[in-house]
Structures are given as structure tokens and as C-alpha cells.
Amino acid sequence: MEFKLGNGAIMLPPLHITIIAIIIIFFLVRWSMQLETRRFTIFFYFLISTYITPIYSRSTKEGDFQLWFPLGFIFVFFYLFRSERNHPSKMKASILGLCIALYQLILQYV
């Protein structure tokens, strides 16, 4: 979306991306209210879970191939699995981060 203002313009992401971002923020705020202390940690679990990284790379004559992996979710999952302060809201936020990571993986291969 583009809004023209005189000589300049404001560029916004597509409408479906904006709606998804609003829904994600709504869920994260709602889940953070369920915690008694350190409510901001929900956002950190979400952001760390969205991290993807290539674990294998190969160059061929046709081009480059990279195998991507949601490493951030694996770290957060094992941390929450071993932690004594495990809360369902933290796991929900990390699973939501995994969904975003999978979306990023799909965009890498398309």
C-alpha cells in the first residue's frame, strides 16, 4: 500500500502481512498478561523462536543450495523443557515464533 503525501509517500506492507502482524501482537500481549512477573519475556521467546539459519550450503553449476533450519525454536524449546519456570504462555509464544520461522523457510525456497 502506498499513501502519497505531496512529494513523498508512505509505503506500508501488503494488507495480509499487516493483519497477521496485528494478530500476532494481540496474542503476544494477551499471553504476556497471563504471567505474574517479567511479562516482557514472552516477546523475547517469540523473537528468538523466529530465527532461522542455514545448516548446509552447497554450490553447483546451477546455483547455490542452502538447507535452512529453525534453530531459534530448538534453543527455546530445550530451554523451556529443562526450565523449572516453564509457563504455557511461553510455549505458546515460541510455537507462534516457529510458525513465523516456517513462513520464512517457505520464502527461502520459493
Cα–Cα distance measured from residue 5 to residue 95, given in angstroms and rounded to the nearest whole number: 40
Residue reference for cell 504476556: 32
Q: Tell me: pLDDT of 93 over 90.
A: yes
Residue 85 is classified by DSSP as S
pLDDT digit string (tens) for 79-89?
998 988 788 89
Nearest Cα residue to 32 out of 81, 74, 93: 93
The stretch 24-33 carries a mean pLDDT of 94
C-alpha cell belonging to residue 26: 494481540
Question: What pLDDT band is residue 25 in, cutting at 50, 70 and 90?
Answer: very high
Q: What is the mean pLDDT of the segment spanning 12-37?
A: 91
- Supply the pTM of this predicted model: 0.83
Cell numbers at 24, concatenated: 500476532
Structure confidence at residue 3 (pLDDT): 85
Question: Which pLDDT score is estimated for 35?
Answer: 87
Helix (DSSP H) and strand (DSSP E) numbers for the chain: 4, 4
